Amino acid sequence: MSTRGVSQVVVNRSFEDAVGPEGLRAYIEAIVETVHANPEGNSADLAPDLARRFESHGVQVHEVEVRRMAEALSRANGQGLRISTDDGRELFAEGTPDTVDADADAVSPHPEPSDDDRPFYS
């Protein structure tokens, strides 16, 4: 098992406002339940489970966002989970700070091709 660090989910203000307190609670519960049920799951396992749990909790999350979140959650391999707002308010935390890998966000599953002639902004 590779220890990549704690998964960080950030909820933006517009989503929080749109779903309200009960919807936010349901969103968090769906994520936490999925992580607990699939501690070492890969994104292919997590995505359908996460989608089912969002649906069962009555939370509408776009399929693309579900896949992206499943991919991010799978990289932590069950080491921990943090859910916070975009202004830094912590909504849920599980795992210890020593499991956090400072370079976890620096490793992309989709590396950029190296091409000296490629423009910076592409």
Predicted local distance difference test score (pLDDT) of residue 91 = 93
Interval 11-68: pLDDT, tens? 999 999 999 999 999 999 999 999 888 877 788 889 999 999 999 999 999 999 999 9
Question: What residues are paired with 85 via a beta bridge?
Answer: 11
Distance, CA of 83 to CA of 9 (rounded, Å) = 5
Predicted local distance difference test score (pLDDT) of residue 103 = 42
Residue count of the chain, please give it. 122
Torsion sign over Cα 20, 23, 28, 29: positive
Interval 61-105: pLDDT, tens? 999 999 999 988 887 766 788 999 999 999 999 875 544 444 444
The number of angstroms, rounded, from the C-alpha of 61 to the middle of its chain's C-alpha atoms is: 13
Q: Is 14 exposed, middle or buried (0-12, 13-18, 19+ CB in 10 A)?
A: exposed
Question: What residues are paired with 8 via a beta bridge?
Answer: 82
Tokens of 109: 């599953």
Tokens of 85: 């707002």
